[in-house]
Structure 1
Amino acid sequence: MQIYSARHYDLEGAFKDFQDETGISVEFISGNDAELLQRIKAEGTDGEADVYMTVDAGNLWNAGKEGVLRPLDSTTLTEAVPADLRDSGNQWYGLAMRARTTMYNPDAVKPTDFDATNTYAGLTDPKWKDRLCMRDSTSAYTQSLVASLIDLDGRDQALATVKGWVANGVDIKSNDVELLKAIDAGQCDVGITNHYYLARELEKKADLKVKPFWASQSGAGTHVNISGAGVVRSSDNPAQAQQLIEWLATKGQSAFVDGNHEYPVNESVKPEPVIAGFGEFTRMPLSAEAYGSQNAEAVKVLSEAGYK
């Protein structure tokens, strides 16, 4: 069975477990999301892909919209994956969840300093002037966050939020690890990253001066995104491909997500100990259609606001 995968996080252990348990051989072709989707489309009915695995809900939505995935009839997946983390037409399913939330240096910031209702917009407050680090505008993480704010608050308010970050002299970092290290070093006091980068850094440096603040817990909740998969419409092995996705959402959940400190989408599966230590949080409902269809608008908002 062939997987076209844009997900590169510690996959070997999970798929070895699946192979050992089922006897089904799994091979990978890796690449970025757009390249792999175009390859599947170009190969057509002669394609080798059985499963398309990708990161970002917008990419999953786009794959479904492009018609390259087949709908599945699976009670197992319907029960394992919450409704907003799977396609309404059963073409794709979220398998791993990440939270993009506020990180802060506890020597400089108290949790009560944050706006608990809308933490993302709250970072426009002048008290965060020259204290804020964030990711660059080309990052899919940044674009999906802004797309979710457009969906949640409307374009005008989302634009005002991004302009407020810029007005506060936001220090743009090229990756989340660099951002966390800057907070730890006191170069900035607060930032926004994916939760699992903090878990990784804490494994390397237990006394890292960074803590998570779960965003907007009195409001819409913390922004989340997913990695997920679907069965390719032209697959020669659709039953096996469906079996793999079902396994990843159930028996294989921990093996799939724990190595990268991601949250299981299956609510009956417990998160691994490091991220469990971050505490529970209420997540913002996920709209894959918004992340996908509003991505171009999010890019325009970032540009219009002068966000680099």
Structure 2
Amino acid sequence: MFAQVKTALFAGTALAIAAPAFAEEVNVYSNRQPELIQPLFDAFTEETGIDVNMAYLKDGMLERLVAEGDRTPADLVFTVDISRLAAVVDAGLSQPVTSDVLTQSIPALYHDPAGHWWGLTTRARVVYASKERVADGDLTSYEDLADPKWKGRICTRSGTHDYMLALTAAMISHHGEEYTTTWLEGIKANLARKPEGNDRAQVKAIWAGQCDISLGNTYYMGQMLGDAEQTEWANSVRLIFPEFEDGGTHVNISGVVMTKAAPNHDNAVKLMEFLASPEAQEIYAEVNSEYPIANGSTPSELVASWGSFTADNVDLMDLARLRDDALRLTEQVDYDG
């Protein structure tokens, strides 16, 4: 039995807080921070009377699910990045969900045709650019990042991080491995420093004058603006929504998978359908600074203020399938070296 909608974080693990059992419940494993999704679960419980018991697993979720097998108490898995969603499915740990509500709400591009995974929000991977040192129109495509004019001016996190690998996989999908290898070599040659830190650390480096542009997910802008220490970093940059030369702006998703052994199947479906509702999508948009995914939904006022873009239409499952190739090429060029 899980803890009742309360979790504590200690040394990267979730500590259960003892609570009485409830007849109506749904159990969630999540590597999304509790504060980002707790408001959604609270709203669902208030509307349905079904309690959501969440275990926050920063690392090792797939290994835990494999070890538990059919004995897992988890009904749903919440995670980010298509490769992580696909990994749960590929391990044989999921079951398809058939729901007219989900099919009508979630665009086909953002859910598995067989119903094994469903997107809940999208995030674009964009360029954070110095307001002082990068002019409008200086960079318009992901391909431009390899242009020698950016030599010594780019900061990124490790090239082997999931977010970077997804972008590299998208480049492979658009242009093939040979082009992508040259592209990675070009970006590496343009780096102002060895890759280090997370996406926000790159924006701090821009603010400090160490580089002029970086790559980052859009929602980090919202997180920085909500942090007194980091607001100054955020205000030093603007967002550029580059596109692939033959496509759109790279996006990835947060999503949900129902486990193969879900002990509370019907309640889990109800939670999934609630998360695709206008009410839940609005909460997502406000709390997470991400783009709501349901048809007809709109981003928050803050997110909308960053500008509009056309999402790349590459098949997200292609990104998952190409992840290993992206990692191989990244290591081949010694991107982090």
Q: Which residue of 1 aligns with 2:93?
A: 68
Partners of 2:176 and 2:218 lie apart in 1 by 26
1:32 to partner: Cα distance? 3.9
**Residue in 2 aligned with 1:238?**
265
- Tell me the alpha carbon deviations over residues 172-201 of structure 1, each in whole angstroms, 9 at most, x when there is no partner: 231111111111232211111111112222
CA distance in 2, matches of 1:218, 1:162: 16
Aligned residues: 304
Partner of 1:19: 45
- 1:188 maps to 2:211: yes
Over residues 215-243 of structure 1, what are the superposed CA-to-partner deviations in whole Å (9 max), with x where a residue is unaligned? 11764111111110021121121111011
- Give the C-alpha shift of residue 268 in structure 1: 1.3
Structure 1 stretches of 4+ moved >6 Å: none
1:53 matched to which residue of 2? 78
Question: Measured at CA, do residues 218 and 289 of structure 1 come closer, stay the same or move farther in structure 2, by a change above 3 Å?
Answer: closer
Q: Which has the higher contact order (CA 8 A, sep 6+)?
A: 1
- Are residues 106 and 217 of structure 1, via their aligned partners in 2, closer, same or farther at CA, if it must alter by over 3 Å? farther
* Separation in 2, partners of 1:283, 1:295: 20
Q: CA deviation at 1:291?
A: 2.5
Q: How far apart are the structure 1 equivalents of 2:298 and 2:104?
A: 16
**In structure 2, what is the Cα distance between the partners aligned to 1:84 and 1:271?**
18
Structure 2 counterparts to residues 1-308 of structure 1, below 5 A: 1-8=26-33, 10-32=36-58, 35-114=60-139, 116=140, 119-171=141-193, 172-203=195-226, 204=228, 205=231, 208-216=235-243, 219-250=246-277, 251-308=279-336
Q: Which amino acid aligns with 2:320?
A: G
For normalisation by structure 2, the TM-score amounts to 0.86
Q: CA RMSD in A?
A: 1.7
Which amino acid is 1:123 matched to? L
Superposed displacement of residue 202, structure 1: 2.9
- What percentage of residue pairs aligned between the two structures are identical? 32
Corresponding letter in the other structure for 2:298: K
Gaps in structure 2 of 5+ consecutive residues? 1-25
8 Å CA contact 1:224–1:286 kept in 2: the answer is no
The alpha carbon displacement at 1:285 in A equals 1.9
Give the AA of the match of 1:150.
I
CA shift, 1:48, in A, is 0.6
Extract unaligned runs of 5+ from structure 1.
none
Q: Give TM-score scaled by structure 1 length.
A: 0.93
SS at match of 1:110: coil
2:5 maps to none
Q: 1:286: how far off?
A: 4.4
Q: Determine the C-alpha separation between the residues in 2 that align with 1:289 and 1:218.
A: 21
Deviation readout 1:107-134 (Å, 9 max, x if unpaired): 11112111x3xx2221111110111111
